[in-house]
């Protein structure tokens, strides 16, 4: 399998399936395509002509493409059922799917105002009312999951739901909004996970830059 991803420093969507593959030890070839370059879309379409020309995109051994981070996660869960990518318990699994889908489709204010840039440090900036409302909802989700399933991750062991929220943890490391002790502890545990540490280390070594995302007005 091949996984097409964007820059590790910036591409929150790419981070999610990459973490799942790494954490669960599923072999894959990484194909990194720099974002926001004149040839970016063409390079992606060369691998996956049926898709929208965006990353992430998973190419299986038969050359079939699956795009969108949540679709890739579901595909991996089906194909590698020996791994608990979703919780085994049906009730917990439905809960995990719900909070993952909420992350996938929501939190637009947080995305717009506190973008992922692992190499940057913008403490206390862009704490707009909308972004703070999104953060409050995320904290509520995390607290409920950790209280219900006992931690250390949202549903006990690391799963798709944690991968979906990992870029949020990266945002919190960069922007440093005020967080509860529960949320701060979860961010620390996610950041220390070996797969996440590997992604961060690679992001910090990248030299490709997206200028407008490296500054905060």
**Domains of the chain in sequence order:** 2-81 (3.40.30.10), 90-200 (1.20.1050.10)
Q: Is the dihedral of CA 145, 149, 151, 154 positive or negative?
A: negative
185-206 average pLDDT score: 98
Cα distances from 41 to residues 16, 51, 65, 156, 187, in angstroms, run: 20, 10, 15, 38, 33
**Beta-strand pair 29-32/2-5:** parallel
> pLDDT, tens digit, for every residue of 75-134?
999 999 999 999 999 999 999 999 999 999 999 999 999 999 999 999 999 999 999 999
How confident is the model over 182-206, as a mean pLDDT? 98
Phi-psi map region of 63: left, alpha, beta (phi>0 left; psi -120 to 50 alpha): left
Contacts of residue 77, Cβ cutoff 8 Å, sequence gap at least 6: 83, 85, 86, 160
**Contact criterion met (CB below 8 Å) for 207 and 119:** no
Predicted confidence band of residue 47 (pLDDT cuts 50, 70, 90): very high
Q: Band of the pLDDT at 60, cuts 50, 70, 90?
A: very high
Whole-structure pTM over 0.95, yes or no?
yes
Whether residue 217 has pLDDT greater than 90: no
């Amino acid at each position: 399998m091949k996984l097409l991803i964007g820059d590790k420093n910036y591409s929150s969507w790419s981070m999610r399936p990459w973490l799942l593959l790494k954490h669960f030890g599923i072999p894959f070839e990484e194909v990194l395509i720099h974002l926001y370059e004149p040839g970016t879309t063409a390079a992606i379409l060369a691998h996956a002509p049926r898709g929208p020309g965006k990353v992430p995109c998973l190419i299986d051994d038969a050359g079939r493409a699956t795009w969108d981070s949540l679709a890739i996660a579901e595909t991996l869960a089906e194909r590698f059922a020996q791994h608990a990518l979703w919780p085994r318990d049906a009730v917990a699994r439905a809960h995990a799917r719900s909070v993952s889908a909420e992350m996938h489709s929501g939190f637009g204010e947080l995305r717009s105002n506190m973008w992922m840039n692992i190499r940057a440090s913008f403490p206390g900036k862009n704490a707009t009312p909308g972004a703070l409302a999104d953060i409050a909802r995320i904290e509520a989700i995390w607290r409920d999951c950790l209280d219900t399933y006992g931690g250390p991750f949202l549903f006990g062991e690391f799963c798709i739901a944690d991968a979906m929220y990992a870029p949020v943890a990266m945002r919190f490391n960069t922007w440093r909004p005020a967080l509860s002790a529960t949320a701060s502890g979860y961010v620390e545990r996610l950041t220390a996970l070996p797969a996440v540490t590997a992604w961060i280390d690679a992001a910090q070594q990248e030299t490709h830059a997206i200028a407008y995302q490296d500054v905060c007005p």
